[in-house]
Amino acid sequence: MIVEMRTGASRKEVDVVVQKAKSLDLGVQLNIGTDKTVVALLGSNTGQIPTDIFAVLPGVESVTRIMKPYKLASREFERKDTVVDCGGVKIGGQRVVIIAGPCAVESEKQLRQAAEGVKKAGATILRGGAFKPRTSPFSFQGLQKKGLELLAAVKKDVDIPVVTEVVNPQDVALVSSYADMLQIGSRNMQNFALLTDAGKSGRPVVLKRGFSCTITEWLTAADYLLAEGEKQVVLCERGIRTFEDSVRFSLDISAVPVIKRNSHLPVIVDPSHAAGHYSLVPAMARAAVAAGADGLLIEVHPNPKEALVDGLQSLSPSDFSRLMEELRTIAKSVGRYI
Ligand code: PEP
Ligand code: MN
């Protein structure tokens, strides 16, 4: 249930609403805007509580039931678009933010070359995996702590913020001490312990869509982060599993306008994991920008043929640079820039 306070409602009036909610054993999240305060009432029993109990209180403008299972990620809770700050780069504004880098951090030389290449082409955030969630336990799991150290060194030398994945709740503090933004991967979208800890980290989080999850489940997972007080959440569409087997995953472009309609959170698109093949990445990246994505996450490797992970879907720096030129034209035609 969402209680919208009148413009200029006093703090005392807001407190009365909060006290009432607490007396009914409801959780409360306050959204104090410049002109308006919105109070989200959380709990499994809100359906049984009459809205009038709140509507009659002084200073209350309206009370809306949210039938959707997600609340804090909803447009009803926050009408204004959220803008996320990743090391000074704003995601969710006019600029389409390009995040690029290798799937896995492999060596200092590989990461440095990737970082320099993507920055030169116009990417503003570097991504590289230090901890890799692999389908098989026998696959390369990433350089882990050593990978984080390399990310920190390259971030400083190349002067670019970094995002990297965290796969375990117990690694959240460690990864947060190196990264400007945490990534939660597709396989962990519903790892609720991980979401809860990442939500307390104080770092922005990019939450990838589970490849078998609906948009509603994805937004409800985002609520786990937001419920911890984390406001800086970016959603990332990366393809879903369908009957189609000519691509690695089917890129759900419709997720972009659906998220824009139903949520205030920025949404970016990862065409690389959906495509599974470098030759398909540019078209899917262009489609995402045309559809209104706030950013892209693209795998780029200085030498894709030698990559330890996801080489087939990685672009070379020169292919990436060519794609960036095309994306600039598309961004301009939809009133954005890169
Ligand atoms: C990745 O970003 O390298 C990755 C493993 O992606 P996903 O979680 O979307 O599969
Ligand atoms: Mn990858």
Which residues surround the ion ligand 2 when the cut-off is CB under 5 Å? 103, 310
* Ligand 1: centre distance to CA 296 (Å): 13
Please give the pLDDT value at position 68.
Answer: 85
Number of H-type helices and E-type strands within the chain: 11, 14
Helices 192-199, 215-227: inter-axial angle, 10-degree rounding: 40
- Ligand in closest contact with the CA of 134: 1
For ligand 1, atom 1, the nearest C-alpha belongs to: 103
Say if ligand 1 is within 6 A of residue 238 CB: yes
On whether the CB atoms of residues 85 and 32 are closer than 8 A, the answer is no
Specify burial of residue 119 (Cβ count, 10 A radius: 0-12, 13-18, 19+).
middle
* Ligand 1: centre distance to CA 275 (Å): 12
Please give the pLDDT value at position 33.
Answer: 86
Which of 172, 212, 164 lies closest to 189, judged by CA? 212
Which of 85, 84, 86, 116 lies closest to 101, judged by CA? 116
Say if ligand 1 is within 6 A of residue 185 CB: yes
> What is the mean pLDDT, run by run of 10 residues, along the chain of 338 residues?
94 96 94 90 85 96 89 94 98 98 98 98 98 91 96 98 98 98 98 98 98 98 96 98 98 98 98 98 98 98 97 98 98 98
Say if ligand 1 is within 6 A of residue 209 CB: no
Please give the pLDDT value at position 293.
Answer: 98
Contacts of 277 (CB under 8 A, 6+ apart): 247, 248, 312, 313
Please give the pLDDT value at position 48.
Answer: 85
Please give the pLDDT value at position 45.
Answer: 77
Say if ligand 1 is within 6 A of residue 129 CB: yes
Please give the pLDDT value at position 47.
Answer: 78
For ligand 1, atom 10, the nearest C-alpha belongs to: 186
Ligand 1 atom showing the smallest separation from residue 236 Cα:
9
Please give the pLDDT value at position 13.
Answer: 96
